[in-house]
A and B are shown apart, each in its own frame.
Chain A
Amino acid sequence: MKQFFFRAPSFLLLLMLTAAFGFGCKSKRSDGPKKMAVIVSTLNNPWFVFLAENAAAKAKELGYEAKIFDSQNNTALETDHFENALASGYSAVLFNPTDADGSVVNVLKAKEAGVPVFCMDREVNSDAATSQILSDSYSGCVAMGKYFVQQLNKKGNYVELLGLVGDNNTWQRSKGFHSLVDYYPELKMVAQQSADFDRNKGMEVLESILQAHPNIDAVFCGNDAMAMGAYQALVSAGKPNVKVFGFDGAEDAITGIGEGKIAATAMQFPKVMAETAAVYADEYLKGKREFPKKMPVAVELVTKENIKDYIAYGKKD
């Protein structure tokens, strides 16, 4: 009995704190307009800035508050952003994951909290996301591979710069490319290395590869940032005629194709992906529950032959 009296105030205090915390959370969710969090892998690449800004802009257009969180390619920071977003009462997450496996835990956490997650451009290896709107990187790189083979007349030495090894896009692009190029035995890949989708790393990695393999005819890069870095390395090494192939449809690459610096890129449509994710999230919050688990967005090959049809991150109307 003595024990009961001793513990009762603590119990009551705990009960009050729990109730206050619970009501506090509830009030955050119900006050003011609903909010969408845009959690993006990095804002250190203009392509992802464009993706995030378009997602936030579409969310605002649909009547939501929107805030962009930069994960800086760091899954731990991404986890912090998810925790903050869930604690701050965001109703949905428009998500560009950092790592296909490493980001799953964050999506699961949101799902448990009843907050839908819509992946943009990058995939998580889980069906916990409400829907994943993804570029068809594989098909884009099959088309790229065909153009690559034609440009090199089916023979030559080349280097492949891979993106982040934990990102599915890295491997979808590489697999699409090799699904065609590997049928040509006279096309020899002399080096394959990751440069993390980063322009500076792309330059440094290719500079290092060129020390060991100075005679190359082409460089295939998993994105345009690495392609621009690779081009810089080639110019510094006095090899500006080596053909460089990118992926994304970023502004530098589109200009580069026009100027003959870049041979080709694969145009993704970040605005389409970002806006589709925001529209899906809006539909979810209005009660819709049936969404395609994966929604591929077609990727288009851009070369000097059709450059007039394209602008950075999209098509001319």
Chain B
Amino acid sequence: MKKTLKYILGLAALVFVAYNSVYFKKLDAVRASAHKQFDASAYARKYYDTRLKPALKNAVEINQLLALARVDKEAAFNRHSHALGIGNIRYFLVQGTGEITGINENDVAVISKNDSTQSALKIATEFVFGNAIRDASGLINLNEFSSTADFNNVSAEVNKIVRNEVLPAFKSTAKKGDRVHFVGAIELNRQHLKLDDLEIIPVALNLIKDK
């Protein structure tokens, strides 16, 4: 009788341990919870509103940057560019004011002047993609993210904000001869620097009413 009780207790303990050792979950639920870990859209919205927008006032004036790059490339890159890793591609957060000289399929042509120089630029209105806006401010660190895919999704979401909230109003009202204040990102190659045909990926665009 004592032996039987021992066996029953032993079996019950075994069943208890076995039951608590194995868990079953639906694969869909596991996948869904993995995806829930990072909300790129919410991160991008917070980044755009609370970090990028306040940083726009620090953007370098485009003509000033280009003048410096022509005489001292290294100084221009060292003072004003950002990039997340190694390589020749670096991003600059720039601003300026210019007159619209053409409305094209993929961009708006602008002549921007300051006291000493003027530049012919293009403001992208079609291809607002890639990491230029995310990286030009130098405010986000890749190593804060556990996954490279999450990090890249932040770019896609920030670009979406610009495409949905900045471009429609500008494209519907901008016309040749208007003046525009722009803030945006440009990409330059440190080794093979080309300063003509520059394209600005916009972050903020404001038409200036009184000429």
- Residues of A in contact with B (beta carbons under 8 Å apart): 123, 125, 127, 133-134, 136, 138-139, 142-143, 145-146, 149, 168, 171-172, 175-176, 179-180, 269, 272, 276, 292-300, 306, 309, 315
Contacts and interface: CB of A to CB of B under 8 A. Distances in A.
Given A146-B127, A146-B129, A294-B143, A172 B149 contact: yes
A123 B142 CA distance: 14
A142 B124 CA distance: 15
Contacts of A315: 88, 191-192
A149 B124 CA distance: 15
Given A146-B127, A180-B129, A315-B192, A297 B152 contact: no
Interface in B77-92: 83-89
Given A142-B129, A143-B130, A296-B85, A175 B152 contact: yes
Contact of B131 (A142, A171, A309): A142
A314 to B, nearest CB: 10
Nearest to A123: B148
25 contacts: A123-B148, A136-B85, A138-B148, A138-B155, A139-B131, A142-B129, A168-B149, A172-B152, A180-B129, A180-B130, A272-B86, A292-B142, A293-B143, A294-B143, A294-B148, A295-B85, A295-B86, A296-B84, A296-B86, A297-B85, A297-B87, A298-B85, A298-B86, A298-B89, A309-B192
B114 interface: no
B143 A300 contact: no
Contacts of B87: 136, 269, 272, 296-300
A279 B163 CA distance: 42
A297 B86 contact: yes
Contact of A175 (B84, B149, B189): B149
Contacts of A309: 192
Contacts of B146: 127
B88 A298 contact: yes
Interface residues of B, number: 23
Contacts of A294: 142-143, 148
A296 B192 CA distance: 20
B156 interface: yes
Interface string B110-147: 00000000000000000101110000000000110011
By DSSP majority rule, is chain B's interface helix, strand, loop, or mixed?
Answer: loop
A176 B148 CA distance: 12
B142 A296 contact: yes
A29 to B, nearest CB: 31
Interface in B164-178: none
Interface of B: 83-89, 127, 129-131, 142-143, 146-149, 152, 155-156, 189, 191-192
Nearest to A179: B156
Given A172-B148, A300-B89, 12 more contacts: A125-B147, A136-B84, A136-B85, A168-B148, A172-B149, A292-B142, A294-B148, A295-B85, A296-B87, A298-B85, A315-B88, A315-B191
A171 B149 contact: yes
Contacts of A298: 83, 85-89
A1 to B, nearest CB: 32
Nearest to A306: B192
Contact of B152 (A149, A176, A272): A176
In the A-B complex, list the 9 residue pairs whose CB atoms are closest, starting with the nearest.
Answer: A298-B87, A296-B85, A298-B89, A142-B130, A138-B152, A180-B129, A297-B86, A139-B131, A309-B192
A82 B78 CA distance: 41
B119 to A, nearest CB: 21
A162 to B, nearest CB: 16
A235 B148 CA distance: 37
Contacts of A139: 89, 130-131
Contacts of B143: 292-294
A143 to B, nearest CB: 7
B146 to A, nearest CB: 7
Contacts of B152: 138, 172, 175-176, 179
A172 B143 CA distance: 17
Contacts of B127: 146, 149, 180
A276 B85 CA distance: 11
A101 B48 CA distance: 33
Nearest to A136: B85
Contacts of A293: 143
A139 B201 CA distance: 14
Nearest to B105: A154
Contacts of A142: 129-131
Nearest to A145: B129
Nearest to A132: B148
